Structures are given as C-alpha cells and as structure tokens.
Copies of this chain bind each other. A is one copy, B any other.
Amino acid sequence: MALVSENLTKNQKTVLGVLENSSEPMKAYTILYDIQKKGIKSPLQVYRALDKLIEIGKVHKIESRNSYVACKHEGCNAKTSTSFLICEKCDNVTELIGNNLFSYFSKQADKNNFKYNKHCLEIFGLCENCKLKN
C-alpha cells in the first residue's frame, strides 16, 4: 500500500507541508497567510485541506486552541481520537500514542452506560524543558 500522502492533492500537500515544517501547532489563518504566495487565497481552501488531512489522520486538531498539528507518527491510527500534552509555558505539544487510553475510556464510559466511540484529551502542564527552568 502506497503512503497516503502520495495521494494528496496540491492544496492538501501545501497545507500539510506548512504544518510539518512548523515546530508548533498552527491556526488556520496563520497557515493561510503563510501560503498565499503558493496560490491559496481563501480560508475555505485551507479548511478544506485541513478537513481531508484530519480525515486521513495526517493532521489533528487541538480543540482548546483552534490549532492544527501534523501527525509525526507513520500510519497514525488517531484518525478520530486525539490525546495531547500541551505545555502552558511554551505551547509545545506532544501527542500521546500507543497507550491504553482507549480501553481506559471505554471502561469509564461503560460505568455510565455510555458507548465509547472516540475521544479528545488535552492535558495541560509543563513540558520537560519548562519544568527544569522553573
């Protein structure tokens, strides 16, 4: 199976490229300003690309910040669910992966007679670097 990114369209590749080269999450309009020279003129073009990239799991949205990050994990299965560690001091974001959050949340949901489908988890605090500086 070919890499998903080989199937991306021009706009999608452009948007993903900007996100992959960013060390931080980016907002939709920041992305837009960054790529206007590449022929993308309207917010909608960015949002459409983001929608697709999120759908295939190459990009995740950080809900509490209205920001978007490229996923660094090949074949990330977080197409729907996301789990982040967000540094309140430097805004650095790390994705939690490959853990048992799914089963843990399923159990929590069960206790409430709720059928788990997906989740978004955002943990705020201090990243390794900022902890040391304090």
Contact = CB atoms under 8 A, between A and B. Distances in A.
Contacts of A115: 125-126, 131
A127 B122 CA distance: 22
Given A96-B108, A108-B123, A122-B63, A114 B88 contact: no
Nearest to A131: B115
A120 B122 contact: yes
Interface string A79-115: 0000001011000001010010100110011001111
Contact of A108 (B99, B117, B126, B127): B99
Interface of A: 63-64, 85, 87-88, 94, 96, 99, 101, 104-105, 108-109, 112-128, 131
